[in-house]
Structure 1
Amino acid sequence: MFNFRNPDAHTDISSMEVEQHPPGYPRYSALISANDHFFIARRFAKIRARILLLKQDKLSMLEERIQTIDRDERCPLFLGKSRCDRNTERIDTLVEMEERLADYDQFMEQTHRVLSFSPAQPRDIRSLQNWLKGNVALARDESEYLNYGNDLLSLASTKDDAMTKLEAWVEDRLSFEQRASRNLSSDPNVFVSTASPVGKVAKGVVLGIATLLILLPIVICNCTTSLTARMSVVMMFVMIYLAILLHMTRSRTVEILVAGAT
């Protein structure tokens, strides 16, 4: 039986198995920290939208107020020379506008940054949900966030979206990973890898697909003398190539057009 309170002083804490941590948040946090893709959180998009609308409306009200103050100004000199302005209502309103505008800009930048995170992968969400079903770690209310699928984001960096999807495909279909990696969990129903060859296999698959897309049409065209057949082969492989780009990457329209032209 594991001693949760006093682990071995010589044990590397970072390499401890998940079950060696105390149950509850410590164990669930250990599971999440074992895989970057488990760092899943909510965007709170509806709340952000509502707060943004309220901040925007308050600025609109201040905008109307300053326009009214300027329109009702009895001393035109104050409107043309701010150093001489003695209208305290206008001065106070401008100060409040500056403060609220700075807060509004900051909130917009934060929201933009949150919205730029990639959506959480359904497979990672299911993994956490399945683990929580088999391990009573959190109260049901506190693990409810995983049910907000469309509102969940992943904090893990995805430098190559296509490679991420391909690695997930390889991991789901190949069974050698558990033999090639050390498990960070003592539960036979849980597998958390420390190192995995999935990335290398995925790169090998990409290399193979790229080689086929480049060389196969050349081979086929050399085997036929029909110009129509050659043109059909070239068009078919170009369409396959563009379809892969559209499905696997986040390429912009211009990038797709350039790729098709080259």
Structure 2
Amino acid sequence: MHEDDQVSRMERGEAGTSCSSASTMTPEKIPSSVSPSKRLSLHSSDTRHEKLRTPRWIRTARTRLRTSWVGTGRQAPDPRQIIPKPIVRALYASPQGYPRLAAFLDSDESFMIYRRFGFIQSRLLLDKQDQLRELERKLEKMDRVEAKIDERWPRTRDLPDEQFEPRSQLLSQIEEKFCSYANLLEAAQKMVAMHHPSKVDYNSVRSWMHFRKPLMEREASWINHEEDMVTLRAGREHAWLDSSIERLLRWFHCPLIERLFGDERSRTKSFGIKASGTESSGNEVYYSRQHITRLANCIITMMILILLIIPIYTLYHLINDIHTGKSYAICMGILVVATLAFSAVLSLFTKAKRHEILAAAAA
């Protein structure tokens, strides 16, 4: 069609006829000369009918599924967002000597055992105490001498420099000695408040040092001072039960137990990368502290449930014979035995104090 004919048709108002006829064309028959805006208008009616037929929640779910599929399956991970694995020090990756001993003591909180040096603390405290005693005697003597010369001297600090200087020097010396004594006394108090290591933990460290011999004999003799040992481990709630579980796991050690109660960190400590010139015996076995704690919690929960359910179940079946003297005696005996067993569980498996055990048993 020529341009003159198109213009004449537009002047006569027949342009709408061409648009309506073009709208009836199928997508395959749309000429390429049609502009993109006209192509969009051609498909708008079909798209509108499709939206009316498809519910909105289905379209929303379809969009989300398509977005998640593209985001998780087809998008490559950003190298900057990859979190590196935690660094775990292997026991036999350190050279023989103090490095390996330090790695062993740091491998588990139960092995953090060191000397308290109680004898040296007492000697230092006694020495500082005697020094302060001498300075105290000098201060008292100076006060008496100054009081005899002039009664105003011990009562004021507003004195000439030649008279106040000896007292000022003596007080400064006393302050220095007293601060040193107080710091030492506070450190000794913190040492005394620390827990002594359990027999199992102490024997483990001592046996390892005896068989592995990381130090010279004279330098390794510190482990023999059993009464002078302290542990940096905080008192756990189920220390006895946890140590018993660890002992049983070591006795019945097998690949299955190691798989159930171990993790990647524990296996790295035992069989990690070895340093050159070192040999791993494989006798050091580490278990996950979290798995042992879960097992201990399960055992305590089961025992508490048993101690609560069995007495109630037994007393329930004794209701029929409650009017006889024998049934009363049996009920009292069941209550006493259950209370004693509950108190024994609290005292053995937990670090509950005496008043806490009494309150729990009375409740």
TM-score (norm 1): 0.81
Task: Identify the residue that residue 123 of structure 1 maps to in structure 2.
Answer: 200
Task: Identify the residue that residue 6 of structure 1 maps to in structure 2.
Answer: none
Matched, 1:242 2:242: no
Task: Identify the residue that residue 3 of structure 1 maps to in structure 2.
Answer: none
Residues 220-229 or 111-120, more deviating: 220-229
The CA RMSD measured in Å over matched residues stands at 2.7
Aligned mates of 1:246, 1:194 — CA distance in 2: 25
Task: Identify the residue that residue 157 of structure 2 maps to in structure 1.
Answer: 82
Match of 2:173 among 80, 96, 110: 96
Identical pairs, percent: 23
Matches within 5 A, 1:60-71: 60-71=133-144
Task: Identify the residue that residue 206 of structure 1 maps to in structure 2.
Answer: 300
Deviation of the 1:121 alpha carbon: 2.2
- For structure 2, list consecutive stretches of 5 or more residues without a partner in the other structure: 1-84, 272-280
Match of 1:37 among 92, 105, 110: 110
Deviation of the 1:13 alpha carbon: 9.2
Task: Identify the residue that residue 34 of structure 2 maps to in structure 1.
Answer: none
Aligned mates of 2:330, 2:213 — CA distance in 1: 62
Matches within 5 A, 1:109-258: 109-160=186-237, 163-174=238-249, 175=252, 177-180=257-260, 181=262, 182-183=266-267, 184-186=269-271, 187-193=281-287, 197-224=291-318, 225=322, 226-258=327-359
- Across the two proteins, how many residue pairs are aligned to each other? 249
Query: CA distance change for structure 1 residues 95 and 209 in 2, over 3 Å: closer, same or farther?
Result: same
Match of 1:49 among 122, 144, 162: 122
Kindly provide the amino acid, as one letter, of the partner of residue 185 in structure 1: S
Listed one character per residue, the Cα deviations across residues 213-252 of structure 1 (whole Å, up to 9, x for unaligned) are: 3333333333433344333433333333334444455544
Q: Secondary structure at the match of 2:158?
A: helix
Aligned mates of 1:117, 1:50 — CA distance in 2: 20
The 8 Å contact of residues 120 and 153 in structure 1, kept in 2 or not, is answered as yes
- For structure 1, list consecutive stretches of 5 or more residues without a partner in the other structure: 1-11
Listed one character per residue, the Cα deviations across residues 189-224 of structure 1 (whole Å, up to 9, x for unaligned) are: 221335662221111111122223333333333343
Query: CA distance change for structure 1 residues 137 and 246 in 2, over 3 Å: closer, same or farther?
Result: same
Q: Secondary structure at the match of 2:302?
A: helix
Task: Identify the residue that residue 185 of structure 2 maps to in structure 1.
Answer: 108
Query: CA distance change for structure 1 residues 49 and 253 in 2, over 3 Å: closer, same or farther?
Result: farther
Kindly provide the amino acid, as one letter, of the partner of residue 84 in structure 1: L
Q: Secondary structure at the match of 1:153?
A: strand
The 8 Å contact of residues 98 and 215 in structure 2, kept in 1 or not, is answered as yes
Aligned mates of 1:40, 1:194 — CA distance in 2: 20
Deviation of the 1:167 alpha carbon: 0.8
Listed one character per residue, the Cα deviations across residues 93-133 of structure 1 (whole Å, up to 9, x for unaligned) are: 22222222222221121112122221122222222232233
Residues 92-101 or 165-174, more deviating: 92-101
The 8 Å contact of residues 114 and 230 in structure 2, kept in 1 or not, is answered as yes
Task: Identify the residue that residue 131 of structure 2 maps to in structure 1.
Answer: 58
The 8 Å contact of residues 34 and 194 in structure 1, kept in 2 or not, is answered as no
Query: CA distance change for structure 1 residues 218 and 140 in 2, over 3 Å: closer, same or farther?
Result: same
Task: Identify the residue that residue 28 of structure 1 maps to in structure 2.
Answer: 101
Q: Secondary structure at the match of 2:218?
A: helix
Which protein has the larger Cα radius of gyration, Structure 1 or Structure 2?
2
Query: CA distance change for structure 1 residues 152 and 247 in 2, over 3 Å: closer, same or farther?
Result: same
